[in-house]
């Protein structure tokens, strides 16, 4: 009788442990930065593609704030998507977690020939209304992050793609 009782207790204990591991494992596999480092000064600032210098205007850029918010601003004559914003968190030095909260895009625009007197290209967007659309991302998405110096300039690269150069440690610099 004691052996059956011991087996029952062992099986019950095993089931409870399995359930605890199963439910605590959901967070570990859901790419949420529960144990990730808080946003720090490593990436806080304004980062621009192609160059750390601002000429006639900013190019496509990231703005990372110290409170864990970000905005990704797209500069393109033919892209109706203007910006993506949300929150971020760092997971050490090589993981950036992003949660998209809203996008801003142009609606009701017209494609017209580019005015050659002030810009290069064939077409541009004219008119339209800028609209903000709330997103319902519930989880952070993990992105690889590489932070390094290149010829004395601070550079970040996400997911092995485009390089972004630090323009300023102030994310609100170069606001028009």
pLDDT at 71: 96
pLDDT at 123: 85
Strand partners, 149: 154
CB crowding 77-95: b at 16 or more within 10 Å, else e = eeebebbbbbbbbbbeeeb
Q: Count the neighbouring beta carbons within 10 Å of the beta carbon of residue 147.
A: 15
Strand partners, 47: 62, 166
Residues of the chain scoring pLDDT < 50: 1-30, 32, 34-35, 37
pLDDT at 98: 95
Helices (H), 46-88: none
Sign of CA dihedral 160, 162, 165, 168: negative
Which CATH number is correct for 33-168, 3.40.50, 3.30.2290, 2.40.128, 2.60.40?
A: 2.40.128
Sign of CA dihedral 67, 157, 165, 131: negative
Inter-residue contact 33 to 89 (CB < 8 Å): yes
pLDDT at 42: 86
Nearest 5°: the CA angle 67, 62, 96 is: 65
Reading phi first (left if > 0) and then psi (alpha if -120 to 50, else beta), residue 152 is in left
Residues across the chain: 176
**Which of 161, 147, 149, 157 minimizes the C-alpha distance to 40?**
147
pLDDT at 40: 58
Q: Where are the domains of the chain?
A: 1-30, 33-168
Contacts of 175 (CB under 8 A, 6+ apart): none
Chain segment 60-77, per-residue pLDDT in tens: 999 999 999 999 999 887
pLDDT at 156: 93
Chain segment 9-24, per-residue pLDDT in tens: 444 433 333 323 323 3
């Amino acid at each position: 009788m004691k052996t059956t009782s011991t087996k029952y207790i062992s099986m019950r204990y095993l089931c409870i442990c399995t359930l605890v591991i199963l439910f605590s494992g959901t967070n570990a596999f859901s790419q949420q930065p529960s144990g990730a480092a808080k946003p720090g000064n490593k990436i806080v600032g304004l980062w621009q593609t192609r160059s750390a210098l601002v000429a006639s205007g900013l190019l496509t850029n990231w703005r990372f704030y110290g409170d864990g918010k970000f905005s990704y601003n797209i500069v393109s004559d033919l892209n109706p998507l203007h910006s993506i914003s949300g929150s971020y968190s760092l997971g050490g030095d090589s993981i950036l977690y992003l949660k998209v909260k809203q996008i801003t895009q142009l609606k009701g625009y017209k494609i017209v020939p580019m005015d050659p007197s002030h810009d290069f290209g064939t077409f541009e967007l004219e008119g339209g209304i800028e609209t903000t659309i709330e997103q319902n991302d519930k989880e952070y998405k993990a992105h690889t992050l590489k932070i390094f110096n290149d010829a004395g300039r601070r550079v970040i690269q996400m997911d092995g793609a485009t390089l972004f150069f630090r323009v300023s440690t102030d994310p609100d610099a170069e606001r028009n």
